[in-house]
Structure 1
Amino acid sequence: MLRIHFTTEDFTRVRFAPRPAPVPELHAALMMLGAPHEELLFGRWRGRLLRALPGAAEPLADLVPGGVAPYFLDVLGETREEGLTLIRSARPEFVRSELERVYAGQGAVPPWIRGLHAGSPEAWRVLERAQRAAYETVLAPVWPLVQDLHRAEFTRHALVVAERGLGAALEVLSPGLREGVWEWPGAPRDVHVAGRGLVLLPTFHWRGGALVQDVPDAPVVLTYPAGGGLPPAAPGTPTGEDALAGVLGRTRAELLRSLTEPRTTTELARCLGVSNATASAHAQALRAAGLLTTTRTGRSVHHAPTALGDLLTP
């Protein structure tokens, strides 16, 4: 369980990020590229982007040799340039210690990482080129949409704060606020705000648990998954029903949309014009993705959408 520890003073320094931050959003998207357990919803998105990523972005993989990124990449910044500048301004000793941490026990270290450890200007240029290349491919096409989604998310929480108070807004995100400790599901970790302030930042690419930036002498940043569950689509790509079919496949999308009420496998098969076995197989795939639930009553089973399934089929 992730535990965020507050004092009374800390509680007055909690704020929602008013605008999205390009660098954290890019890093969230890159993490999803390496998360094959989200194959049903993100598989086609992942395949398209992996084919499109230029070679200049490949060094970024060297920064996460064991699936854990160095903390000097944890920055905010309201523009890409500001974020990259913050990364480049990290203290040399902090960069060295973080590279040593993520590469401990990971085998051979790529030459450019050794250069970064030594403070080589060329190694920093390699990192900057990689960040820019990844941004242009992964995030730039959908950035206007991310800005719109963030504006709606910020407004939603601002209204809750205005009407019911900050505590209620935090409970909407994770109902675990108890006597100065705010709990989130996830790996055990204790984070102490300790007067630095807490920034709440939504991400529209990451589907896992909350991500925490806990860098000395900087506000704690909690990045939480928001949005409807589908990866943001660039302008010109299908939206609405076509987008859902593009991600799930047309038959599974139709199955999910047909669940306006709980239905048996036989009823689903009749709605879709397929066999019971085919309907059952599609329901099993959607259940594995967390989009529907199945309950047994006597000899019958009934399928119903989960909250995420409802979000995808408004």
Structure 2
Amino acid sequence: MLRIELSGQDLALIRFAPQPAPLVELKLSLMMLRRQDSEQTFGRWRRELRQRLPVTTRPLWDLLTPYRGPAFLDPVSPDLPSGLDAVRTMPTSQVRACLEEMWAQREGQEPVPRWLRDLAQGDPATREQLCQSLQDAYQAVLGASWPRVTALHSAEYARYALNTAEHGVVGALTRLCAGSRLVDGVWEIDAPYRRQVASAGRGLLLLPTFHWTCAPLVADKAQDPLLMVYPAGPGMPLMPAAAGEDVLAPVLGNTRAHTLRLLGYPLSTSELAGHLGISLGAASTHAATLRAAGLIDTVRAGRAVRHERTALGTLLTGGVDLDRC
């Protein structure tokens, strides 16, 4: 079981990452690639990915196991370039400490590769080699599917915000991970391992991941808020969107995704039905569903009823509207 101690101050400092973190998603994707479970859903994805990973990514396999990887590989960053810069400039002492911890866990196994010893000593060329490996792995594993990761993250962000508004912070937390509970200031989450961490007034940063299917993971770095990464994906690999496909369609369905993009500006139900090419009743039903999810507002002005996106709806669409002309 994972147990996270949260004081009243910690609950007040809980934040949800506003966008996915490329290197965190990459590291967990590569760990998923190394696992052997869930073969029915991940088997084909693993086989195809192994074939297209370039040889420059080979050094990463000296660092990753199916369930572990050093913390210096996946700093939380809003985009890939800033993440790679964080890896590139991370103090050698931190990199060495992570490697020494990893070597201690693998004691008695294969000898440590020479390039990892150079990395631990702060060799600049070796550090650049590592960054190139990460960049090439990202392009092979996530590059084509990243728009879908971003859409799913926005949907999860909106879900958490709505749960917080309706059920409070504690209710929203316990709904992130099925079966979890807050007992006497401790968030208890079912996990196949035993670990207890204390936020100690630093707060908590929540980050969903869409390729990991195991229990949540916690990073505890001194002075930083605790980072809790939890699985929020569909339980299968994310495939790139087909040409012309709206990345929101797998999240909302085609018609509701289309509706949400149309409502960047107010439309009546009849106008919405006309743009969508559906009946008045169907348009009303879709609008009601989006309204219940907090993604649109419906306002009556005299005899007219008009629908428009909320801030959450705009977040989910990335501010992209459809041309209604």
Give yes or no for TM over 0.5: yes
**Corresponding residue for residue 221 of structure 1:** 227
**Corresponding residue for residue 46 of structure 1:** 46
**Corresponding residue for residue 123 of structure 1:** 126
Distance 1:152 1:81, change over 3 A: same
**Corresponding residue for residue 5 of structure 2:** 5
Query: Residues 32-43 of structure 1: matches in 2 within 5 Å?
Result: 32-43=32-43
**Corresponding residue for residue 17 of structure 2:** 17
Deviations 1:191-213 (A, max 9, x none): 11112221111111001110111
Query: Matched residues in 1 for 2:156 and 2:224: separation?
Result: 24
Query: Matched residues in 2 for 1:88 and 1:14: separation?
Result: 29
**2:197 match: secondary structure:** strand
**2:75 match: secondary structure:** coil
Is the CA contact (8 Å cut-off) linking 1:24 and 1:76 kept in structure 2? yes
TM-score of the two chains, using structure 1 as the length reference = 0.73
Letter in 1 for 2:222: P
Query: Matched residues in 2 for 1:66 and 1:227: separation?
Result: 18
Query: Residues 257-296 of structure 1: matches in 2 within 5 Å?
Result: none
**Corresponding residue for residue 198 of structure 2:** 192
Query: Matched residues in 2 for 1:222 and 1:89: separation?
Result: 24
**Corresponding residue for residue 71 of structure 1:** 71
Is the CA contact (8 Å cut-off) linking 1:42 and 1:231 kept in structure 2? yes
Structure 1 runs (4+) greater than 3 angstroms displaced: none
**1:115 match: secondary structure:** helix
Query: Matched residues in 2 for 1:67 and 1:172: separation?
Result: 24
Is the CA contact (8 Å cut-off) linking 2:31 and 2:68 kept in structure 1? no
**2:200 match: secondary structure:** coil
**Corresponding residue for residue 88 of structure 1:** 88
CA positional deviation for 1:71: 2.2
Query: Matched residues in 2 for 1:66 and 1:36: separation?
Result: 8
Distance 1:75 1:191, change over 3 A: same
CA positional deviation for 1:68: 2.6
Query: Matched residues in 2 for 1:66 and 1:208: separation?
Result: 11
**Corresponding residue for residue 164 of structure 2:** 161
Query: Matched residues in 2 for 1:220 and 1:149: separation?
Result: 23
CA positional deviation for 1:97: 1.6
1:203 aligns with 2:209: yes
Letter in 1 for 2:188: E
Query: Matched residues in 1 for 2:50 and 2:66: separation?
Result: 19
Q: Quick one: which of 171, 188, 208 aligns to 1:183?
A: 188
* Unpaired stretches in structure 1, ≥5 consecutive residues: 240-314
Query: Matched residues in 2 for 1:83 and 1:112: separation?
Result: 21
Query: Matched residues in 1 for 2:150 and 2:66: separation?
Result: 31
Distance 1:4 1:56, change over 3 A: same
TM-score of the two chains, using structure 2 as the length reference = 0.70
CA positional deviation for 1:10: 0.8
Deviations 1:251-273 (A, max 9, x none): xxxxxxxxxxxxxxxxxxxxxxx
Distance 1:182 1:65, change over 3 A: closer
Is the CA contact (8 Å cut-off) linking 2:20 and 2:207 kept in structure 1? yes
**Corresponding residue for residue 57 of structure 1:** 57
**1:141 match: secondary structure:** coil
**1:206 match: secondary structure:** coil
CA positional deviation for 1:148: 0.5
Query: Matched residues in 2 for 1:97 and 1:67: separation?
Result: 19
Identity percentage over the alignment?
Answer: 42
Query: Matched residues in 2 for 1:229 and 1:70: separation?
Result: 24
CA positional deviation for 1:129: 0.7
Query: Matched residues in 1 for 2:157 and 2:223: separation?
Result: 26
CA positional deviation for 1:177: 0.8
* Unpaired stretches in structure 2, ≥5 consecutive residues: 246-325
1:147 aligns with 2:150: yes
